[in-house]
Amino acid sequence: MDPAANRPPRNPQEKDTPMTIRTTTHLNFRGTAGQALEFYQSVFGGRLTLVTYGDLGAPKDAPGAGKVVFGQVENEDGFRVMAYDIPGTDDADPAAVAGSTRRENGMTLTDRTFFQSVRGETLDEVTGYWKALSDGADIVEPLAASPWSPGFGILTDRFGVTWVLDVQAPYAG
If one counts every other C-beta atom within 10 angstroms of the C-beta of residue 89, the result is 14
112-150 pLDDT, tens digit each: 677 899 999 999 999 999 999 999 999 999 999 999 999
8 Å CB contact between 132 and 149: no
Within 8 A by CB and 6+ apart from 130, the residues are 143, 153, 155, 165
SS3 76: coil
Tell me if 21-91 shares its fold with 93-173. Answer: yes
Looking at residue 114, its pLDDT comes to 78
The yes-or-no verdict on residue 71 having pLDDT over 80 is yes
8 Å CB contact between 37 and 51: no
R_g of the chain computed on alpha carbons: 19
Looking at residue 106, its pLDDT comes to 80
1-59 pLDDT, tens digit each: 555 555 555 555 566 667 788 889 999 999 999 999 999 999 999 999 999 999 999 88
8 Å CB contact between 116 and 137: no
* Per-residue confidence band for 60, with pLDDT thresholds at 50, 70 and 90: confident
Note the CATH architecture for domain 21-91. Answer: 2-Layer Sandwich (3.30)
* Per-residue confidence band for 169, with pLDDT thresholds at 50, 70 and 90: confident
Q: Nearest to residue 88, comparing CAs of 67, 60, 71, 59?
A: 67
If one counts every other C-beta atom within 10 angstroms of the C-beta of residue 145, the result is 11
Looking at residue 41, its pLDDT comes to 98
Domain 93-173 has CATH 1.10.3720.10: no
**pTM listed for this prediction:** 0.80
CA–CA separation, 82 and 72 (whole Å): 4
8 Å CB contact between 25 and 81: yes
| Annotated domain spans of the chain | 21-91, 93-173
CA–CA separation, 82 and 69 (whole Å): 10
Looking at residue 98, its pLDDT comes to 65
